[in-house]
Amino acid sequence: MVDDLNESARYQQRSIQFNIDKESGQTIIRVVDAVTHEVIRQIPSEEVVRLAERMQAFKGTLLQAEV
């Protein structure tokens, strides 16, 4: 029972944020510590979001080169 209470208290100090990245249009989900406001996890990761943006820009460059 104590383990269950500890687990419950741990989860209560977290918040989940849903946002749309302005540049990529992707939905971003962040798990944030409710006390420190530190991002614990982001889905997709920041690296993946930026990689997708670069790939999209590269795709646009290729399409312009073909025209």
User: Would you write out the chain's pLDDT as a tens digit for each of its 67 residues?
Assistant: 767 755 665 667 888 888 998 877 889 989 888 889 999 899 999 999 889 888 888 876 766 655 5
pTM tops 0.75, yes or no: no
User: What is the Cα–Cα distance from 34 to 14, expressed in whole angstroms?
Assistant: 5
Measured in whole angstroms, the distance separating CA 55 from the mean position of its chain's CA atoms is 18
> What's the full length of the chain, in residues?
67
pLDDT at position 9 is 53
